[in-house]
Amino acid sequence: MDHPKLVVVRTYLNRFDAELAQSALEAAEIESMIDADGSSGTQPGLWLGGVKLLVRDDDAEQAAEILGPAV
């Protein structure tokens, strides 16, 4: 079974902003996941690379349109 390729559609400074964006994608029926620190977001000190919002490669263009320009 092939697994879909996941791509980072946005990187946020905190988990709250990433979850807001994830909600917008969910409303558009686009599945996404948050990659914060490898420990389910419980270690904010490890967020050095930001909080990443990932979607399937096939959904990346539509997700970027929904989220608007990166700030």
pLDDT tens for each residue of 32-62: 999 986 544 556 555 567 899 999 999 999 9
User: Which pLDDT score is estimated for 11?
Assistant: 94
What gap in Å lies between CA 18 and CA 40, rounded to an integer? 13
What gap in Å lies between CA 45 and CA 24, rounded to an integer? 26
| Extents of the domains making up the chain | 6-67
What gap in Å lies between CA 56 and CA 6, rounded to an integer? 5
Radius of gyration (C-alpha) of the chain in whole angstroms: 12
Q: Is 12 left (phi over 0), alpha (psi -120 to 50) or beta?
A: beta
CATH says 6-67 is which class?
alpha beta
